[in-house]
Amino acid sequence: MTLAQTKLPVSSNETPVKSMGNFWSPIDTLRSEIDRLFDGFAPSSWHAPDHSSFGGTSSGLNGWSTSLAVDLVEKDDTYEVIAECPGLDAKNIEVELSNGLLTIRGEKREEKEDKQKEYHVSERRYGSFQRSFSLPVNVDADKVAAMFENGLLKARLPKSAEAKKNQRKIEIKAA
C-alpha cells in the first residue's frame, strides 16, 4: 500500500483581514471572551487551545471548530502547524497567508443521504471551519509551505536566517 502525499498551494494576499465574528454561536462567543480574559493571567498561553504564541483564533459551524485539533510545534529552525482534518480531501482545504496571519479553512460537505434509510443517530459533522494564527515575527513568510497526508495538514513555517543567527543557549550556573 502506497501513501499519497498532496502538496497544497499556500496563497499570499496582502489585504486586511476582517473578522465576521462567530455570530451564529453565542456559546462560542462567550467561551472566546472568557478565554481572552484568562489569557492575561497565564505566563505562557502556548498550552491553551485556540490561544497560543501564534495568537490563534477559530470559528466554525455546528461545533466543527472544536473538532479541528491543531498542534503548534517549535523546532530549532522552523515552526509547524499540524491540523487534524479527518474525512477531508486536500481539495476541500485552503491555506492562506495574509498580513502575518496564517489561515486554514475548509469545508466538509454532507454526502447524499438515502431517503429510504431511517437514521437513529447521526453524529457526523458537516460544515465549514476556519482557524487563524498570527505568525511569530521571526517566520520567513516567503518560505511557508503546506502538505496534506492521511487526514493531517502540516504547515511548515521556517524561521528567518536572522532569527536563527540570534539564538543562543544561556548557561545556568548553580547558586
Q: Can you say how many angstroms the Cα of residue 18 is from the centroid of all Cα atoms in its chain?
A: 17
Burial status of residue 2 (CB atoms within 10 A of its CB: 0-12, 13-18, 19 or more): exposed
As a whole number of angstroms, the longest Cα–Cα distance in the chain is 76
Q: Can you say how many angstroms the Cα of residue 149 is from the centroid of all Cα atoms in its chain?
A: 16
Predicted pLDDT at 30: 79
**What is the percent of the chain where pLDDT is above 70?**
66
Put simply, whether the predicted model's pTM sits higher than 0.75 gets the answer: no
* pLDDT, tens only, 64-88: 444 578 999 999 889 999 999 888 8
Cβ pair 132, 54 in contact under 8 A: no
In the chain the domains, ranked by start, together with CATH numbers, are 45-108+126-164 (2.60.40.790)
